[in-house]
Structures are given as C-alpha cells and as structure tokens.
Amino acid sequence: MYRAVLFSLMVMFLSGCAQSEDHTLHDLVETEALSFYVDTLATGLRNPWGMEFLPDGRILIAERPGNLRVWADGELQDENIRNLPEIWAHGQGGLMDVVMHPDYANNQMIYLVHGARGSNGGSTAITRGRLTGNDLSDVETIFFSQPHTEAAHHFGSRIVFDDEGYLFSTIGDRGAMNTAQDLMSHNGTVIRIYDDGSVPQDNPFVGDDDAQPEIWSYGHRNIQGMQLHPVTRELWTHEHGPKGGDEINLIHKGANYGWPLVTHGINYDGTIITPDTTAPGMIDPILHWTPSIAPCGLAFVDSDHYPGWQYNMLVGALAGQHIHRVVFQDTTVVHTEKILQGMARFRAIEQGPDGFIYVLTEHPGLFFRLIPE
C-alpha cells in the first residue's frame, strides 16, 4: 500500500499536475533493461498519426481523418484546432504529421503533412500556418508532391527540422513502385526544403533537368518514421517493405536506397519482386525485418528517465503490435527487444520535453506515456 501511494505521488510530481480521473496507471511492465508503468492520458482517438509538444504545455495530436486535437490540462480537449487546410482523407492518406517551427516561440508557425487533392487525384502536401489559441491563420501550402494520382496508399509521411532549420519530409511510392527510381517524381523520396518551401541550392539534384530539385534521397518504398540522432544529429528513417523487407536506414545526401531494384521482401501474392538484396551504388539497410512488423513512428531515447535505454531507437509496429527496441553500437544493431506485445497498432512514439516517452496507437486509439518504475 505504501509503495502504491508513493508511486502515485511521484507520478503527480513528475507530470506537473494531478492525474485526471480519465488516467489509468496500468500494471508494471517488466522489460530486459528497465520496468515501467503505462500512464493512459486519452482514449477514443480516431487513427492518431503524429504529435507535437508546444511550449505552453499543450500537445497537438493529428488524426488521419483530418482533425488536429489538443491535449491540455490533463485531458483531451473538446475543441480542435480550426482553419486547417483541406485534408484529402483518402485510403492511407489524410492528416499525418505535425511539427512546430524551430523558432515557434517568435513566429507561432506549425507545419502539417497531409493528403491533398490535385488536378488528377492528389498526393502528399506540406502546409504551414500561424497558431493563435486554437485558430490557424496565414495558412499556406508550401509543397505538393508530384505526380498526382488516385492511388490510396503509400503517402508517407513524417516531418523533421534539422539543427540548421532545413525541413525534411518523406513521400511514399504511392503504390507505383518503379517511380521510386524516377528522379522526375517525388514518389519514394526524402525531400529537403527551406521553411518557406523554397529549394536549397546545395540539394543534390539542383540543376539537373531530369530530377525534382527537392529530392534529398530516393529509392524508398514508404517511410513512416524519421528522426535525428540525439548525439550525431544524423537523419535516420524506417520504411515499410512489401511482404517482408521492412528497413531501418541512415539517410545520406543524394543516395539511392534501392527500392524496388533491391529488397528483402516479396510481393503479397508470393511472387518475386527481384532476386537482389544488394547492388552496387545502392545503400543497404542498417536492419531489415522479415517477416514485416510494419514500422511506424520512431524515437531515440536520451532521457535520464530511462537509463537502460540510452540512445536506443524505439520503433512502433503496426502489424507487429508492439514497440521494437533497437540497440546500436555506432551504426551496427547489436540487440533488439519487443515491448508491449499485442497491445495495439503502434503509430507514433516521441520523447517529450519532460523526458518521458509518449505513444499513440490505433485500434484502440490511445495516447499514453511510459513512467519508469
């Protein structure tokens, strides 16, 4: 009894506010390196996809159907962010990720990556706007991937600002695998732009009339996890393979990651895509999963709250329904562990400014954090 009361007081102190009646501290979860409690912050979310932590303590949660929810004062708020761009909620696309500008404290700009309608179907777009209270103003779409298509899958997508203020985002192959090798298409790429959508002149394909200037790397199938390493500041991603062949990659300027010319996966009907798993001039994955776990969401841990997980990568698994902990020695994977197996489809993982790990899942739609023992 004493230990339970002490723990409850500790959680209230760490969170900075009393737990609301909706929060549920679940039983202790024991893992190889540490043990933790699951602190449920919200339930009933509809396909939550991404989250962002604002300086005023609010947390924005993007729901794929097109809502930008607000978690504040210990609970999910009834009122959503207003005046969003038109969201094309089409198949796997919709409102996906949300990040704030590095200078948000002065400009109040947030960035959304979302499905958008175009001249022939649509694709993945990036829109920014100025957030005042719950209202978005000065809304402007700064990037719209080409070509447009009616395809309902492989939109990507994540957004990351690096330390120099460049914006990186990801676009899937939109179900047309061979376009990931076509530099005239944004499909299957990581792009790099300025915060206003303009193109840095040191991008690798600037000046090439047969390439889109925003492309930073290509040959990707469908990236749904991207993050900077907390120490090296290198850009890491993971992506969906077909049936098998999910990958973790370290992203290099101008590099070709091979899809669909090389892969460890096969078609869903069992037929061979290619016999090759590596090829000259193409970057091999740091890690691949076969069978697939369907990775989504990526976080590096550098918080003192989780000493056993320092600099580990946490990967959400949709089909695998677990969190995949990946341990590195430099850039070599030396160990992995499955955590919270069978709980839900894990969609997003972030380390918050308070140092705690926050998680979004779908089916069921949950928002929770991991509180170490």
The pLDDT, as a whole number, for residue 27 is 85
CA distance 261 to 272: 11
Averaged over successive runs of 10 residues, the pLDDT of the chain (373 residues) comes to: 32 36 72 97 98 98 98 97 98 98 98 96 98 98 98 97 98 98 98 98 98 98 98 98 98 98 97 98 98 98 97 98 98 98 97 98 97 95
In 3D space, the residue among 79, 27, 37 whose CA is nearest the CA of residue 58 turns out to be 79
CA distance 171 to 145: 8
Q: Is the dihedral of CA 267, 347, 220, 289 positive or negative?
A: negative
Which superfamily does 2-372 belong to? TolB, C-terminal domain (2.120.10.30)
CA distance 33 to 198: 44
The pLDDT, as a whole number, for residue 23 is 55
Q: Is 252 in the active site?
A: no
CA distance 353 to 356: 8
CA distance 239 to 249: 8
Q: What is the pLDDT of residues 86-97, one digit of tens each?
A: 999 999 999 999
Instruction: Give the angle 354-330-236 at the CA atoms, nearest 5°.
Output: 60
The pLDDT, as a whole number, for residue 16 is 37
> Which helix (DSSP H) or strand (DSSP E) does residue 8 occupy?
helix 2-15
* Catalytically annotated residue among 90, 101, 154, 288: 154
The pLDDT, as a whole number, for residue 119 is 86
Q: What is the pLDDT of residues 176-222, one digit of tens each?
A: 999 999 999 999 999 999 999 999 999 999 999 999 999 999 999 99
The pLDDT, as a whole number, for residue 7 is 33
In 3D space, the residue among 105, 155, 152 whose CA is nearest the CA of residue 126 turns out to be 155
The pLDDT, as a whole number, for residue 26 is 76
CA distance 223 to 44: 26
The pLDDT, as a whole number, for residue 21 is 39
Beta-carbon count within 10 A of 243 CB: 15
> Which helix (DSSP H) or strand (DSSP E) does residue 2 occupy?
helix 2-15
**228, β-bridge pairs:** 235
Tokens matching residue 20? 């609301």
CA distance 30 to 16: 25
The answer to whether the beta carbons of residues 343 and 322 sit under 8 Å apart is yes
pTM across the whole model: 0.93
Question: Where are the chain's structural domains?
Answer: 2-372
